[in-house]
C-alpha cells in the first residue's frame, strides 16, 4: 500500500518502509488465524446459514428454530459436516419444501439426519445452495435499496458523521428517541444491546420491551428501527444510518440479520469477544470471518473496538496496542472481502487529562490512525475513563475530544456525554453534547487542512514512536503466534487460552466433505 521509497511521507513524516513492514507483520500474524478459521465451523455460523436458507421464528419457549434444528443435526451427525447437507437431504427425504417446518418436526424428534453420499449428497448440496442464494439475494437487494436511498436523500453534508447512542430497553421507547436524535443532528443511531446479550447463544425473537441497560437485538427490532429511520431520512433529507452489534456468541447471525434488515454499520471487532467477554478464541475467529464476509456483501461499515484497550490499560503506555489491533482488524477485514470504505477502525480520547501535553498526545495518536488508514472512515470515541461526574469539566473534555476529531479528519464521531458514568443520557445531556459538537465542527470544521504538525516536533516524534512500538509488538507476536499472544495476555491484561472460554463446545473442525453454501457464495462474489 505504501510507496516504495524511504522518504518520510505525510503530515507525520512516517517512514513508508516501516508502515509497509507493519502491514507485512500484521499479515504474517493474521494468516495462520485465517487458516484456522477456514478449517472450522461453529453452531452460530451454521445457524446463520439456516437463516439465509429461510428458517425463521422460535418455539413456544422462545428458542429459535435455527437453534433447534442445528441441535438436532448435531445430535445425529455432529457439527463437522456443516448442517446444510444433512438438513437438505432430510428435507428431500421427508418431501417437505419449508425448512422451518422441518425444524419443527426435527425438534419434535420425528426426523433423523444423516450425511448422504453420492447422488443424494450432490442433490442436497444443490438444494442448499439454491435456498441460501435466496437469502443472499435478499441481502443484495437491501444493499441496492440503501444505495438508492442514499442517492435520494444524500449523505450528511460534512465529516465526521455524528454517531449517537440510544438505549432504553424498550424498542417502542427507542424509536421516538432515535428520531428526536436524528432531528437534533445525529447521522448515525446506535441501539445499545441489553447487558449480557453477547453471551446468549441464541438470538431472541420479536419486538422486545424489556432489557437491562439496552435493548435486545432481534430481527424484528432491527426492522422496526430501520423503518422509523427511513421515515426520519425522508423528513430530514439525509440518509440516517442505523448501527447494532455483531459481537458475542451469535455474531454471524447478527451480521446476517443486519444484512437482511438493511442495518448500515455493525460493531465487529476481531478480538473484543475474546478479551473482554471471555469467549473462546477459536470460536471468535471463525465467527468473525463469516460475519465479515456477510458485512462485505451487505455493504455494511464495521466499527472495531480499539477504544476498549484504552479503558482497561493506560492510554499513553498502551497506545501502540491500538495501532496493532487496527492493523490486524484491517488485515482480517480485507481478507474477508471488506473494502477500505467499510473499515470504521476505532480509537479513543482516553488519556488522563492530568498528563502534561495530553492534548498533543491525543492529536499524535489520532493523526497516526488517520495517516496509516487514509481511506478508512475512522471511528473516534469519546472520553469515558476520566469522566468523573464533574459535568462541567466533562463538557470541556468533550469539546477537546471534538476538536481533535475535526483536526485529524476522523470519519465517525461518537458523541461524548458529560454525564458519562453518571446517568444514562438525559434529553438535555444529549442536547448539550450535540451543541458542543456543532460548535466545534462549525468553528473548526476545516482545521484539518491547516493542521500540519511541525517537522521533527512533539507530535511527529510521538506518532513515529507509537508506530515503532507497534511494529516491535507485532514482531514479538509473530515470533510465537497470535493465539499464544492472546493466551499470554499480550492484549490488555487478560490471558485467554485457546482451549478455554465460552462457546468452545459450539466449535468443530471441518470433516471431509464439509459444505457451507453461504461461504461458497460469499467467497466467489468478490
484 within 8 A of 385, measured Cβ to Cβ: no
Residue 370 binding other proteins, by CB under 8 A: no
Q: Per-residue contact track with other proteins, 187 to 216, x per CB under 8 A? A: --------xx--x------------xx---
The β-bridge partners of 140 are none
Rounded to a whole number of angstroms, the minimum distance from the CB of residue 387 to other proteins is 8
Residue 406: closest CA among 432, 441, 434? 441
* Helix and strand element counts for the chain (H, E): 20, 11
Residue 136 CB contacts under 8 Å (≥ 6 apart), including other chains: 52, 297, 518, 521, 522
Residue 153 CB contacts under 8 Å (≥ 6 apart), including other chains: 233, 234, 236, 237, 238, 239
Residue 88 binding other proteins, by CB under 8 A: no
Cis peptide before 160 (omega within 30 of 0): yes
Phi, psi of 166 (to 5 degrees): -120, 140
Rounded to a whole number of angstroms, the minimum distance from the CB of residue 212 to other proteins is 6
Give 3 or 505: the residue with its C-beta nearer to other proteins: 505
Give 114 or 312: the residue with its C-beta nearer to other proteins: 312
Residue 63 binding other proteins, by CB under 8 A: no
Residue 426 binding other proteins, by CB under 8 A: yes
Rounded to a whole number of angstroms, the minimum distance from the CB of residue 173 to other proteins is 14
Q: Which residue has the cell 496509516?
A: 372
Catalytic-labelled residue, pool 309, 331, 379, 429:
379
User: How many residues line the site for other proteins (CB under 8 A)?
Assistant: 27
Among residue numbers 496 through 515, which ones bind other proteins (CB under 8 A)?
A: 502
Residue 183 binding other proteins, by CB under 8 A: yes
Q: Which residue has the cell 430497553?
A: 169
Buried b / exposed e across 438-470, counting CB within 10 Å, b at 16+?
eebbeebeeebeebebeeeeebbebbbebbebb
Residue 311 binding other proteins, by CB under 8 A: yes
Residue 481 binding other proteins, by CB under 8 A: no
Buried b / exposed e across 167-178, counting CB within 10 Å, b at 16+?
bbbebeebbebb
Catalytic-labelled residue, pool 239, 272, 309, 514:
272
Give 195 or 525: the residue with its C-beta nearer to other proteins: 195
**From candidates 11, 27, 81, 277, binder to other proteins by CB under 8 A:** 277
**From candidates 134, 427, 452, 526, binder to other proteins by CB under 8 A:** 427
Question: Regarding beta strands 346-348 and 343-344, do their DSSP bridges make them parallel or antiparallel, or are they unpaired?
Answer: unpaired
Residue 172 falls in the annotated catalytic set: no
Give 104 or 280: the residue with its C-beta nearer to other proteins: 280
Give 239 or 276: the residue with its C-beta nearer to other proteins: 276
The window from 66-74, 177-185, 410-418, 447-455 that contacts other proteins (CB under 8 A) reads: 177-185
Rounded to a whole number of angstroms, the minimum distance from the CB of residue 195 to other proteins is 6
Residue 184 binding other proteins, by CB under 8 A: yes
Residue 390 falls in the annotated catalytic set: no
Give 196 or 374: the residue with its C-beta nearer to other proteins: 196
Buried b / exposed e across 204-236, counting CB within 10 Å, b at 16+?
bbeebeebeebbbbbbbbbbbbbebbbebbeeb
Q: Per-residue contact track with other proteins, 378 to 417, x per CB under 8 A? A: ------x--x------------------------------
Residue 307 falls in the annotated catalytic set: yes
Say how far apart CA 404 and CA 359 lie, in whole Å.
8
Residue 307: closest CA among 496, 150, 163? 163
318 within 8 A of 361, measured Cβ to Cβ: no
Say how far apart CA 460 and CA 111 lie, in whole Å.
66
Give 282 or 364: the residue with its C-beta nearer to other proteins: 282
Rounded to a whole number of angstroms, the minimum distance from the CB of residue 200 to other proteins is 9
254 within 8 A of 203, measured Cβ to Cβ: yes
Residue 121 binding other proteins, by CB under 8 A: no
The site for other proteins (CB under 8 A) is made up of 180, 183-184, 195-196, 199, 212-213, 275-278, 308, 311-312, 384, 387, 420-421, 426-428, 431, 492-494, 502
Active site residues: 272, 307, 379
Amino acid at each position: 500500500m505504501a510507496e516504495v521509497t524511504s522518504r518520510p511521507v505525510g503530515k507525520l513524516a512516517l517512514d513508508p518502509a516501516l508502515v509497509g513492514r507493519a502491514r507485512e507483520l500484521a499479515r504474517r500474524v493474521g494468516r495462520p488465524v485465517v487458516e484456522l478459521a477456514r478449517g472450522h465451523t461453529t453452531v452460530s455460523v451454521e445457524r446463520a446459514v439456516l437463516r439465509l436458507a429461510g428458517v425463521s421464528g422460535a418455539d413456544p419457549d422462545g428458542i429459535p428454530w435455527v437453534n433447534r434444528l442445528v441441535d438436532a443435526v448435531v445430535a445425529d451427525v455432529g457439527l463437522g459436516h456443516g448442517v446444510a447437507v444433512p438438513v437438505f437431504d432430510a428435507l428431500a427425504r421427508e418431501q417437505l419444501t419449508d425448512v422451518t417446518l422441518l425444524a419443527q418436526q426435527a425438534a419434535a424428534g420425528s426426523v433423523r439426519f444423516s450425511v448422504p453420499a453420492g447422488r443424494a449428497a450432490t442433490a442436497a448440496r444443490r438444494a442448499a445452495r439454491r435456498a441460501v442464494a435466496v437469502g443472499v439475494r435478499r441481502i443484495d437487494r437491501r444493499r441496492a435499496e440503501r444505495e438508492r436511498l442514499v442517492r435520494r436523500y444524500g449523505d450528511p453534508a460534512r465529516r465526521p458523521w455524528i454517531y449517537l447512542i440510544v438505549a432504553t430497553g424498550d424498542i417502542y421507547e427507542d424509536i421516538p428517541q432515535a428520531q428526536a436524535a436524528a432531528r437534533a443532528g445525529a447521522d448515525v443511531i446506535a441501539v445499545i444491546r441489553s447487558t449480557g446479550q453477547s453471551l446468549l447463544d441464541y438470538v431472541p425473537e420479536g419486538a422486545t420491551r424489556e432489557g437491562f441497560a439496552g435493548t435486545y437485538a432481534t430481527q424484528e427490532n432491527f426492522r422496526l428501527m430501520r423503518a422509523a429511520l427511513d421515515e426520519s431520512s425522508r423528513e430530514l433529507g439525509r440518509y440516517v444510518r442505523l448501527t447494532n452489534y455483531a459481537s458475542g456468541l451469535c455474531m454471524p447471525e447478527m451480521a446476517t440479520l443486519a444484512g437482511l434488515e438493511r442495518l448500515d454499520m455493525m460493531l465487529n471487532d476481531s478480538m473484543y469477544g475474546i478479551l473482554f467477554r471471555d469467549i473462546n478464541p477459536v470460536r471468535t475467529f471463525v465467527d468473525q470471518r463469516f460475519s465479515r464476509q456477510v458485512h462485505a456483501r451487505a455493504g455494511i461499515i464495521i466499527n472495531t473496538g480499539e477504544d476498549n484497550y484504552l479503558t482497561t490499560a493506560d492510554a499513553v503506555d498502551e497506545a501502540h496496542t491500538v495501532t496493532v489491533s487496527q492493523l490486524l482488524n484491517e488485515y482480517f477485514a480485507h481478507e474477508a472481502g471488506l473494502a477500505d470504505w467499510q473499515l470504521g477502525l476505532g480509537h479513543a480520547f482516553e488519556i488522563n487529562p492530568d498528563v502534561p501535553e495530553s492534548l498533543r498526545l491525543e492529536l499524535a495518536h489520532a493523526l497516526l490512525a488517520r495517516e496509516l488508514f487514509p481511506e478508512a472512515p475512522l471511528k473516534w470515541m469519546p472520553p469515558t475513563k476520566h469522566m468523573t461526574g464533574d459535568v462541567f469539566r466533562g463538557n470541556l473534555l468533550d469539546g477537546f475530544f471534538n476538536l481533535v476529531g475535526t483536526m485529524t479528519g476522523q470519519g465517525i464521531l461518537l458523541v461524548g456525554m458529560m454525564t458519562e458514568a453518571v446517568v444514562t443520557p438525559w434529553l438535555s445531556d444529549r442536547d448539550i453534547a450535540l451543541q458542543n459538537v456543532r460548535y466545534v465542527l462549525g468553528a473548526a470544521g476545516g482545521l484539518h487542512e491547516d493542521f500540519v504538525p511541525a517537522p521533527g516536533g512533539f507530535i511527529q516524534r510521538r506518532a513515529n514512536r507509537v508506530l515503532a512500538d507497534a511494529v516491535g509488538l507485532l514482531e514479538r507476536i509473530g515470533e510465537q503466534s497470535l493465539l499464544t499472544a492472546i493466551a499470554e495476555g499480550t492484549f490488555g491484561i487478560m490471558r485467554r487460552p485457546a482451549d478455554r472460554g465460552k462457546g468452545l463446545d459450539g466449535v468443530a473442525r471441518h470433516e471431509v466433505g464439509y459444505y457451507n453454501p453461504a461461504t461458497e457464495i460469499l467467497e466467489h462474489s468478490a
